[in-house]
Structure 1
Amino acid sequence: MNKIIVYENANFQGLSREFTSSVLNLVKEDFNDCISSLKVIGNPWVVYSDRDFRGSQFVYEEGEYPRVEFNDQISSLEVVTEDLMYPQITLYEHDNYRGRTLVLTTETNLLYGSFHDLASSHKVQRGAWVLYEHINRAGAQMVARASRDVPNYGWFNDRVSHVRPLKPGKPIIKSEILWDKKEEHVKSVTIDSICGLNKGEHEQSFSTELFKEYTASVTDSFSFSNATQITWGTSFSVDVGVMKGEQNFSFSNTFTVEKGSSNTRTERKSIQITLPTKIAPHTKLTVNVLRKEVDVKVPVKLTIQTGSNSSVEFGEYRCQSGNSITAEFKEEKI
């Protein structure tokens, strides 16, 4: 969701309005010339000092702004809907796309090159850009967008000193575990063996404690595709609720994943095994303690919504469970 929340006063105080689409005239919304702070969620928004997207303009990317440019002077709002992932702009030395050109795909301080204070027109091939009057993102600014070529900057001719592409808002990621494609491996492992002998004619007490404790664990993890588009610091939840309640998977039903951090969690607990109290006459009693180890791997479909664009990739969820511990008894006559 691309959204802007505008406030009557600074620091998000006073009356507020929330918009999810562009607003040509804030007079019709009873909120004209009164905005002093705002919050942006998703793609950037451009604010204008006049209605119909005219007058001075200023752009806000995703974030919170306790104070704004054009305080109490904003009359229209426009959401940026272009694909912002792979930006490209061509600057022209003269108006009407004439003279030398400069093609940019990243933020550039023109003072460091030969195109400082020379541009008079542009064409945007991809994305949306901000052109600044001064270096370091200072001074008046012009928003340049794909399919909106500008043949003449007017008073802005020969004044562009800094150029940067606008960034999309944080991606929204939805995960879906594809349980029908899971791989599951189960094996039993002996983790302890206790033996007792009774060579006599009468029943004897078992020569060990009646209870023994063992450590069990469940570990789940998530791994990304090597070609993932998801950037570091991006987090989302994986719902593993389908497995909740089964003996071998006792985790809560939500696993939070963050790109760039460890995506593994382990739960450990003690399990108590009750041992027999007596051994029959002329009997060898063997108690084998078994751990049932289950290893499940399952693909996860990730739908990534960035601004108005959507893409799909796959990761892998894995759960290794060893919290099912049982005792197996075997008697042999001697």
Structure 2
Amino acid sequence: MGRIIFYEERNFQGRSYETSSDCPELTSYLSRCHSCRVESGCFMVYDRPNFMGNQFFMRRGEYADYMSTMGMSDCIKSCRTIASHRGTFRIRIYEKENFGGQMNELMDDCENIQERYRMSDCQSGHVMDGHWLLFEQPHFRGRMMYLRPGEYRSFRDLGMSSTKDHEHEAHHGFLQLNSYEIPRNKVTNSHA
């Protein structure tokens, strides 16, 4: 099980709050959060309460000023633990919402769904095994979304939509999320 410590100020200063479980509302414990330390495991952190808004992946390490290094525009407001998974990974992705259009099944990382499957878009999915990160841009870049086992009828309804063009945004990359084996160079937490 993972453990993360949140601090009100940058550089691990001010009041702190430690947790090993999901926290839908950090402001119940801290007035703000500007730095954190992941002691063990992996977490997704969100810039809005109730696991909403922009998501960022955090693994073991220190984040003295994550807002500038990760491109976050606001404080962490909620966090979700990522359970370790050592079995198989399987996700079905669909071109349209509600599991419509072209369907492909992934069992490994995919840096670019448009190149690999010639899909014009990816708007829904069904995670059957494992945990995955969905990225906006090829090569595991841009905004990301954490997907655990279950059905996702609309990625757009979950907040994965472009502010520039809601109708034509493609989701380009999928990465298997095994908290013990993700190479650091694959997850960049960038908005580029």
TM-score (norm 2): 0.74
Report the Cα offset of residue 6 of structure 1: 2.0
Query: Following the alignment from structure 2 to structure 1, what is the Cα–Cα distance between the partners of residues 146 and 45?
Result: 10
Partner in structure 2 of residue 39 of structure 1: 38
On the 8 A contact 1:40/1:60 being kept in 2, the answer is no
Superposed counterparts of 1:1-334, under 5 Å: 1-29=1-29, 31-42=30-41, 44-68=42-66, 69=70, 70=72, 72-81=74-83, 83-110=85-112, 111-115=114-118, 117-147=120-150, 149-154=151-156, 155=161, 158-169=169-180
Query: Following the alignment from structure 2 to structure 1, what is the Cα–Cα distance between the partners of residues 105 and 140?
Result: 19
Question: Closer, same or farther in 2 for the Cα pair 1:114/1:22, shift >3 Å?
Answer: same
Q: Deviations over 1:81-104 (max 9, x none)?
A: 363542211110111111211211
Percent identity for Structure 1 against Structure 2: 26
Q: 1 or 2, which has the higher helix percentage?
A: 2
On the 8 A contact 1:33/1:72 being kept in 2, the answer is no
On the 8 A contact 1:61/1:166 being kept in 2, the answer is no
Q: Which has the higher contact order (CA 8 A, sep 6+)?
A: 2
TM-score (norm 1): 0.45
Report the Cα offset of residue 24 of structure 1: 1.4
What is the letter of the counterpart of residue 61 of structure 1?
R
Q: Deviations over 1:44-84 (max 9, x none)?
A: 21111111112222222333334324365211111123635
Q: CA RMSD in A?
A: 2.4
Query: Following the alignment from structure 1 to structure 2, what is the Cα–Cα distance between the partners of residues 139 and 152?
Result: 19
Structure 1 stretches lacking a partner, 5+ long: 171-334
Partner in structure 1 of residue 189 of structure 2: none
Query: Following the alignment from structure 2 to structure 1, what is the Cα–Cα distance between the partners of residues 139 and 14?
Result: 33
- The structure with the larger Rg is 1
Query: Following the alignment from structure 1 to structure 2, what is the Cα–Cα distance between the partners of residues 7 and 57?
Result: 18
- SS at 2:117 equivalent: coil
Structure 2 stretches lacking a partner, 5+ long: 163-167, 182-192
Query: Following the alignment from structure 1 to structure 2, what is the Cα–Cα distance between the partners of residues 115 and 38?
Result: 40
Question: Closer, same or farther in 2 for the Cα pair 1:124/1:32, shift >3 Å?
Answer: farther
Question: Closer, same or farther in 2 for the Cα pair 1:108/1:35, shift >3 Å?
Answer: same
Report the Cα offset of residue 164 of structure 1: 0.4
Question: Closer, same or farther in 2 for the Cα pair 1:101/1:67, shift >3 Å?
Answer: farther
What is the letter of the counterpart of residue 133 of structure 1?
E
What is the letter of the counterpart of residue 145 of structure 1?
R
On the 8 A contact 1:41/1:169 being kept in 2, the answer is no
User: For this pair of structures, how many residues does the alignment match?
Assistant: 167
Question: Closer, same or farther in 2 for the Cα pair 1:54/1:113, shift >3 Å?
Answer: same
Query: Following the alignment from structure 1 to structure 2, what is the Cα–Cα distance between the partners of residues 77 and 32?
Result: 15
